[in-house]
Structure 1
Amino acid sequence: MKKKIVYVITGLLLVIYSCKSLPSGGGDSIDYDFKFDLYSHVKWYYRANLKYPSVEELKNFCWEMIDDANDNTFSSFSDFEKTINNKRTGREDLLRYLSLHKNDILFEVRNKSMNVLWKGKKWMKFKFDLCEMIKKRSSLFTYFYNSSGYCSKDFDYEEDFYIIRKEIRDKYVTDTVQRSEFQSCLLRYDRGSGYQLCSPSKSRIKQNVYLNKLGCALDTFLLNRDVQMIQFVTNLPKDLLSKE
């Protein structure tokens, strides 16, 4: 339930920021509101997938959230728009605009940045610093993924996860370790393959009791919720990291 609420609340915030002049369906110009929506959702996609999207991937990302908020009731976005009694999430205008102008807009990924081309001309550039994003709002990187790769934010799951992590941390991270220098690390834990260190890059994690115990707890936690993988940020002692 809370997962659907967060979609709706976030959507309302997006609508508040952009309601003054949403992109017109038939207009040829790109206005500020479309830029705001595009920036917000590309950044959201980047946090969840750790890469820049293609136009089609961003459209699918928006539709999956709309579809999930509506309990997978509709077969397509077109079907959704034909119905009056639906739950809006604030992503509908962006998805509609991207679909309408699919031949005008292109995302071009180069190295660690992405250019947005409008009718063949460079219009907007994205360049995210993953480490800085983690430092500013690490909680925004907590996501849950099913076996098909679909990701979601679920506040109930997050609260349960934080409780489990704290219990294990309090038990297995000793006072000596607590006095160590820590590094914020972005991790993914998959029930099949275990841990993956996503940030900092070009590093690997040494075996340690805390992460081993947390991994055992996560196996049960994820299995009971039919979740395949979790992504989260945690602070680890720097001496547990080594260069590849």
Structure 2
Amino acid sequence: MNVEENLYWRVNDFYDAYLRYPETLDELSDFIWQIVNAEYEYKSFDLYLKSAPPIFTRDAKTLDFILNNRDKMQMAQKQGRLIITYKHKKIEIQKNVCKDLEMPLEKSHFIYKLNTCEIFDSDGRIMRNYYNDDFIELLTSVKKQYLCKHPNIDVNKLIYSAFRYNKHDGLVMLCPQVKVNIKNNLYLKDLSFSLDTFINERDINIIQFIIGVPNEKK
């Protein structure tokens, strides 16, 4: 796999993690550096390069390429696509988690992220996640309490969407076209209350996830 191909797949990985495109080459570089430095062994890529000898994985080569050619590269979003150009070459990526979740769930690319979470630090970077099992337990507990309080609601009729929760904004739905009233939905009210405790107990800044929400319309 050459640098161009690896760059394409790392942008895809970025989108899968953040549910959005990188805004800048610096943000993409930081994401790739987190992959290269997965064990937190080096304080910077410069120190990594000075190690004896540096291990030039595909990701290290890709990061080195971006850092040495960023003045010759351009990145822009257009009509739902991310386009990266370098000289006469062009990489084009098109992803949309919200449109994807409108498909039958078994056909969705994001089915593997259902009921899992990503944790972000105060700068918006993904943190090492130790809390997926805790998050699954939280969802199970919320569902159980919800069923006890609202036994007549069919929890098998779900509407899927992506959400983000933080202390400042509370629960935010990332797919505005989804027909769920986030302020009135009883399940989301219960979930928001539980998430507030969840992030405070673990000192989490931002948590992001994809879940199915009961359709409470009668």
What is the TM-score with the length of structure 1 in the denominator?
0.72
**1:188 Cα offset (Å):** 0.7
Aligned-residue CA RMSD (Å): 2.8
**Structure 2 contact 187–214 (Cα < 8 Å) conserved:** no
Q: Hey, what's the Cα distance between the residues in 2 that align with 1:77 and 1:40?
A: 21
In the alignment, does 2:15 pair up with 1:46?
Answer: yes
Whether contact under 8 Å (1:74, 1:80) holds in the other structure is yes
Aligned residues: 205
Runs of 4+ in 1 over 6 A off after TM superposition: 85-89
Matched, 1:198 2:163: no
Equivalent position to 1:149, from 121, 124, 140 = 124
Of 187, 192, 197, which residue of structure 2 is paired with 1:210? 187
Deviation at 1:37, TM superposition (A): 1.2
In structure 2, the CA distance between the partners of 1:178 and 1:90, relative to structure 1 (3 Å rule), is farther
1:55 to 19, 25, 30: 25
What is the deviation of 1:136?
2.4
Q: Percent identity?
A: 23
Between 1:51-60 and 1:137-146, the stretch displaced more is: 137-146
CA distance in 2, matches of 1:46, 1:177: 34
* Equivalence for 1:136: 109
Which residue of the partner structure matches residue 104 of structure 2? none
Query: Alpha carbons of 1:99 and 1:36: their partners in 2 closer, same or farther (altered >3 Å)?
Result: same
Contact 1:106 1:117 in 2 (8 A): yes
8 Å Cα contact 1:114-1:126 kept in structure 2: yes
Unaligned runs of 5+ in 2: 102-107
Structure 1 residue runs without a partner (length 5+): 1-17, 19-32
Kindly indicate whether the alpha-carbon contact (under 8 Å) linking 2:14 and 2:21 is maintained by their aligned counterparts in 1: yes
CA contact (8 A) 1:108 1:116 kept: yes
1:80 to 43, 48, 63: 48
Q: Measure the CA separation in 1 of the matches of 2:56 and 2:170.
A: 36
Of 136-145 and 95-104, more deviation after overlay is shown by 136-145
Structure 2 residue 13 is matched with structure 1 residue 37: no
Distance in structure 2 (CA, Å) of the matches to 1:90 and 1:122:
19
Q: Aligned partners of 1:208 and 1:175: how far apart in 2?
A: 15
Q: Report if the CA contact (8 A) 1:189-1:230 is conserved.
A: yes
Match in the other structure for 2:83:
115
